[in-house]
Homo-oligomer: A and B are copies of this chain.
């Protein structure tokens, strides 16, 4: 049963990857460059990277890895204490646009199996200037959550706000979105939710890029973006669980740090 579910999740993540790279590639005009990598235990992934006139640095990474947690991780991961074996499959996406008018966009969903099994993931955006679609963005996420997890939206939103926060600067990384983990209520419902979060992200990327890619911006705005990106870099290296998980489990370094901004300014 678990194996079948694992493969269904894995296939969806691959399908979504294909949709996303086709979409972004068409809007940007550049092709993604794909690299396969192997995990030090078993499995691996494919990283697709783009650098073009619209997306300054973008990456879509899918991976399916099989291994054993070390003793430190065993204590942190649900269901890993009695048996360190795990399977994980997931997709993660980060798009850092050239234009400071377009927010950086981040998304990931994953399915993990230890002696338990669950979905996790989320999406969030980081505008550096005013972004007039911010209410639509949040309202769309609310509607989506209400469909599959009634009354959970405010919890998922708060989780995202709490997570993407830089305590040392007392400021949020961006404008938030939703964040969730350990979804193991009803597999079919959870999987539908996961698929719809992916579709929501895909549509948001499409609409936002098409609408804003030709808007003019100036050097002053670009500079604000570069400084904002230094906070992004700080968050990823100081706090991000995905980064820590990747470094702990010996994942591919380019894939783990794919989300780092192309250029960041601490000046």
Which residues of A are at the interface with B, using a C-beta cutoff of 8 A?
51, 56-57, 168-169, 226, 230, 233-234, 237-238, 247, 253, 256-257, 260-267
Q: Which of B51, B238, B261, B267 contacts A237 (CB 8 A)?
A: B238
A96 → chain B, closest Cβ, in Å?
9
- Give the residue name and chain of the B residue nearest to A267 (CB): B262
A57-B267, A233-B264, A263-B265 are known contacts; what are 20 more A-B pairs with Cβ within 8 Å?
Answer: A51-B267, A56-B267, A57-B266, A168-B247, A168-B256, A226-B263, A233-B233, A233-B237, A234-B237, A234-B257, A237-B237, A238-B238, A238-B247, A260-B266, A261-B266, A262-B265, A262-B266, A263-B263, A263-B266, A264-B264
The verdict on A267 contacting B256 (CB below 8 Å), with A168-B247, A234-B237 known, is no
Closest chain B CB from A32 CB (angstroms): 15
Q: Measured between alpha carbons, how far is A256 from B262 in the docked complex, in Å?
A: 23
Interface of A is mostly: mixed
A-B pairs with beta carbons under 8 Å apart, 5 shown = A51-B267, A168-B256, A234-B257, A263-B264, A263-B266
Closest Cβ–Cβ distance, residue A97 to chain B (whole Å): 14
Q: How far, in angstroms, from A235 to B226 measured CA to CA in the complex? A: 20
Q: How far is the CA of A261 from the CA of B56 in the complex (A)?
A: 20
Chain B residues near A247 (CB-CB < 8 A): 168, 238
Chain B residues with CB under 8 A of A56: 267
Q: Which 4 A-B pairs have the closest CB atoms?
A: A237-B237, A260-B266, A262-B267, A263-B265
In the assembled complex, the CB of A218 is this many whole angstroms from the nearest CB of chain B, namely: 19
Contacts of A57 in B (CB 8 A): 266-267
How far does the alpha carbon of A233 sit from the alpha carbon of B260 in the complex, in Å?
Answer: 11
Q: In the complex the two chains form, what is the Cα distance from A238 to B239 in whole Å?
A: 9
In the assembled complex, the Cα of A56 lies from the Cα of B267 at a distance in Å of 8
CA distance A260 to B234 in the complex (A): 10
Do B253 and A169 have beta carbons less than 8 Å apart? yes
Judging by beta carbons under 8 Å apart, are A253 and B51 in contact? Answer: no
- A253 cross-chain contacts in B, Cβ below 8 A: 168-169
| B contact residues around A226 at 8 Å (CB) | 263
Q: Nearest-CB distance from A114 to chain B (Å)?
A: 24
**Considering the chains assembled together, what is the distance between the CA atoms of A253 and B263 in angstroms?**
21
Complex interface: chain B residues within 8 A of A262 (CB): 265-267
Residues of B close to A237: CB separation below 8 A = 233-234, 237-238
Among A169, A257, A266, residue most surrounded by chain B Cβ atoms (within 10 Å): A266
The CA-CA distance from A234 to B57 in the complex, in Å, is 18
- The distance in angstroms between the C-alpha atoms of A51 and B265, with both chains bound, is 13
